[in-house]
Structure 1
Amino acid sequence: NEAGSDPNHLPDLEIRGKSSIVGLKEQYNVDPNQPLFILDGFETSLQTIMDLDMDRVASITILKDAASTAIYGSKAANGVVVVETVKPEQGKLRVTYSGNFNIQMPDLSSYKLMNSEEKLRFEVLSGYYKSTGASNYMQLQELYNKRLADVRTGVNTYWLGEPVRIGLNHRHSLYAEGGDENMRYG
């Protein structure tokens, strides 16, 4: 929640809990409690894993016991995330495109909000314009009369229309693969 809607913020992943000194991430920009990431047999970063197209992932394996340390050494003390991607097919060049388009619209039919006249009436009934002192009484009556005049001239706000918009999202992916039995590329 601290990152808000920042799309570039990387999550904090912990497989075996915190085993190093807390606070080093802020000082050195490296999380010592982060697991080791292996992509198709090679060590990689969390940024590479997050940027990976999920349609290309064949399997994800999480290792968190002593076997991971035996295989990958001391770097695997915090666990290992092994990601295997889909292997390119042999033969001629093949190009694949996939695209998604989404429309998001809020459903506001269940909301019942007051209009300006109902709100002013509610404020009167709740005692908002009542006062104990004479000087404050005049100020509150002036405020009430001003708001009443605004209501009578037709001032009103549809509050549900203010913070919401229709969201349009699209995502595109282009992938080329090929090769023979000696070398494959993707």
Structure 2
Amino acid sequence: MNKPFKAIILGILALLLMGGGYGLLVYFNLVKGPAVLLDLPVVGSKLGQDSPARTLSDPLIEENQKLKDRIASREKQITKLEKKSADFEKQWKRSEIERENLQEEMAGLNDQIQELKASPTGKQMTYQDMARYYAEMKTQDAADILTRLSDEDIIGILTAMESDQAAEILQKMNHDRAAAITKKMLNVSS
């Protein structure tokens, strides 16, 4: 065979191989085919249909879109939960501050209660004053005057006195009345 004939055949084969490769690329929609080919009745109908590669990728595209939608939905849920969490945290901080304020107020009120318990009331101060007056009197006179008072007042005055002075006054009182007052004093102190 002569050389020019071989060169022509090799050229034709090269063109066929390139055309076949291009046709496959167009068939699998990797490259868009020329509009002229799509207008041809037999070739255009084959090229216009979905290729096997395209039909395999469609479910993957759909699945990818579903996953993207799911991710977007979850991100919205996360945002809502983060907002709720922030709201709960603010509410918790407010309640902690309120609790601390109430504890401080309660401590202050307890201090006031202790002060009130420690300080004598108006009646107790009166009993202390009266106890000083009766301590200055003669024992018999103090006993006579005290017997005319109520048992509660007698007990208040006697408890404000020193024990030896209270004992002398009780000794000078009517024995039945002194015993009744002593019983009441025992009940009050227990």
TM-score (norm 1): 0.20
Give the greater-gyration-radius structure (CA).
Answer: 2
Larger relative contact order (C-alpha < 8 A, sep ≥ 6)? 1
* Structure in which a larger fraction of residues adopt helix: 2
